[in-house]
């Protein structure tokens, strides 16, 4: 992924099990600037 917007697009279009490993609804936490607390 090039950026967070691209990650969100693929997450919405293709399903997010691979892009959202912790299941919190945020794809690619490292890319999108979010860190998981779990």
In the prediction, which pLDDT does 31 show? 85
- Sequence-distant (6+) residues with CB within 8 A of 28 are 1, 4, 7, 11, 19
CA neighbours within 13 Å on the CB side: how many for 7? 19
Indicate the domain borders of the chain.
4-33
For 1-38, write each residue's pLDDT tens digit.
Answer: 889 999 999 999 987 678 888 888 888 888 887 655 54
Residue ranges in the chain assigned as alpha helix (H): 4-14, 29-32
């Amino acid at each position: 992924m090039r950026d967070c917007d691209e990650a969100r697009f693929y997450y919405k279009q293709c399903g997010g099990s691979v892009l959202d490993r912790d299941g919190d609804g945020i794809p690619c936490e490292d890319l999108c600037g979010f860190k998981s607390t779990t």
